[in-house]
Amino acid sequence: MDFQLSEQQQDFRRALREFVEKEIIPVASEWERSGRDPIEIVEHLKAMGLFGMTTPEEFGGLSLDMVSFALVYEEIARGWMGIAGILGSHNLSCWMIAHHGTEEQKTRLLPSLASGKFRTGIGLTEPNAGTDLQGIGTTARLDGDHYLVNGTKTWITNARSADVLPVLVKTDTEATPPHRGMSVLLIDSKSPGFSVGRDLGKLGYKGTESCEVVLENVSVPVSDLLGGIEGRGMQQVLSGLEIGRINIAARSVGIAQAAFDASLAYAKQRTAFGKPIAEFQAIQLKLADIATELQAARLMTYWAASLADAGDRVDMQAGMAKYFASEVAIKASLEAMRIHGGYGYSTEYVIERLYRDAPLMSIGEGTNDIMRTVIAKALIAGSAFVR
């Protein structure tokens, strides 16, 4: 067993960390408060090739190993979690196209997506269908060599920036069970009838938009059916969500790391009763708890990522990592606020932003209650073992 990153991974993490320290951390709080579009940061992400993390090299991508993939989200979320969101949905969609798309779809879309010339997200959730994706109401009716798509999607990251948006639809509304009639269409956002509605207000997760997308008789060529075969949409989406959960776990680690870093620095310089509060046992216990749980979350995330690199199915492992790491992020941000006292509640310090960003990690890519059922079902089925 080797718990060390490779030399290449360490160099990659060092470059990421330098970028975050110089380009993201100094502006994150101010830009979040003002609602400023982080266009300069996005351009830097493009230059680093990070829009092509999950795209094969033959299509101009980086084709990162999953541990390096996790490092990207950990480091960027340490600086500003919302920026990690810009990359998250984009690279999830690229992964789905790379693994399930036809050769024509991959050749046509992936080079532009990998460079960042094209942007994307993913259209899954609806006002009445979140966790229960089989309950979606968006339909795609075949009309000659096109589908006519009608429905509404919500909480769509990158909606305003997307050039093409993979959208989960029902191509057969009578299928039993419903997932057999579900497909993914690669919809051109410039298509007539495709419109982006209101931006949804959020507690945290600023820096990237989350919007409603309305589809009114949007005409989509049959050639834009992901993989070219109807009825495979749910399987395609769920396979992508496995790596999406590694992404969320890694973001959670980044949030917890930021909370720990800020707390340790503050405890060393803040004095009470004539000495730094780091010398008080109550503060020491909090720091020890955050650090220990943070490292456990990090190792669990890398474990799930390394198994994905080995080609294993990782629904249980990614679910464990996402569930545990997100709970650690929530706890770490709260304990960091307690260490900071009143300053932790102030917008002048990073802690209040971490406290607002952390809860989404327990919701995104499947709620933590769903993660627990995924883990339990894998254990009961005997398809996964914990030793």
Active site members: 365
Distance CA 33, CA 280 (A): 34
| Bridge partners of residue 139, in order along the sequence | 150, 170
Give the closest residue to 188 by CA, choosing from 96, 237, 120, 90: 120
Q: Which residues contact 209 (CB under 8 A, 6 or more apart)?
A: 157, 158, 159, 160, 161, 199
| Bridge partners of residue 168, in order along the sequence | 184
| Whether 362 contacts 252, CB under 8 Å | no
Give the closest residue to 154 by CA, choosing from 175, 185, 179, 133: 133
205: tokens are: 């997760």
Dihedral sign for Cα 188, 189, 195, 200, please.
Answer: positive
Three-class secondary structure of residue 65 per DSSP: coil
Dihedral sign for Cα 99, 102, 107, 112, please.
Answer: negative
Q: For residue 97, give the amino acid letter.
A: I
